[in-house]
Amino acid sequence: MIASAEKPLFTLNVFTKEPLDFVTISLIEQCFSVKTTIKKIPKRNWLRASNIKFSPVKIDKFTVTSSFFANSIKQDKFSLIIDASLAFGTGHHYTTKFCLQLIQDLKKRAVNPLKIIDVGCGTGILSIAIAKLFPSRIIAVDNDTHSVEMTKRNIVVNKVANYVKVYKSTGLVGNHLNSRAKYDLIVANILYKPLKTLMWSFTKNLSNNGFLILSGLNIKQARHLKSISRQFGFKVIDEKKEANWAALLLRKIDCKRATPLND
């Protein structure tokens, strides 16, 4: 429990493989004026536990389930079997939901991107969804090893491994990536600060008239990114908003206007 002497502010749960010694606990309590409560958690299969937690969710054509529920519902072309473990992206959060909706909106607009990169792929849910909608070549990248491994596992389970290549990478820079590659669609469901930092790379690596989906934003951050995106020659095509979360669908219109941000 993290708290002031008078009134609790919030609770912070810390998990460790080895128990903390008495001296360490005492130092933490004295330095930060907090009270600690220690509880031993029994060993369990956390992967299975996370799969049970995420019940099936319907997002337009897509039905997203974990492997635990997969046998209990009818599977079809638009079924996504997604196990998460430590990776992000099950369709239950607005940020992933918005991306899945915007991907389907592109299909409705008769847009058919051939070369796509999913930046910060997490579980690989967006790459898998794209592979089921478009006859495309997809690259999925993440800077987290757990996410890369879960994506590799999930693309096999969903039978799209022939269409999706998965690499560990920070942004659009990595040993397996062509720094000059041009993509017809870039999808990035991460956070505001890295999105803002990556805008120049997105512009440089997006083909003319290509599309960019940005998510992981609150409404205020989305408003800022809309303004920034215009400096890079993007046009706002669509926006999803709900419960203070937002996602943007942008199109690269004028690459000559693009200039790197100074901050």
> Domains of the chain: which residue ranges?
2-32, 88-257
Smallest CA-to-CA distance from 129 within 153, 152, 96 is with 96
Instruction: Please give the sequence-ordered ranges of beta strands (E in DSSP) within the chain, or none if there are none.
Output: 2-3, 8-10, 57-59, 62-65, 79-81, 115-119, 137-142, 164-168, 183-189, 206-218, 234-242, 245-252
Question: What was the pLDDT predicted at 33?
Answer: 73
H-run or E-run covering 67: helix 67-70
Domain 88-257 has CATH 3.40.50.150: yes
- Provide the pLDDT for residue 4: 43
The label of the residue with tokens 């997969």 reads: 70
Tens digits of per-residue pLDDT, 11-48?
Answer: 666 667 777 787 887 877 777 677 777 777 666 555 55
Q: What is the pLDDT of residue 2?
A: 41
pLDDT computed for residue 254 by the predictor? 64
**pLDDT tens column, 160-179:** 999 999 999 988 988 788 88
Regions of the chain where pLDDT drops below 50: 1-5, 262-263
- Rounded CA-CA distance 10/259 in Å is 42
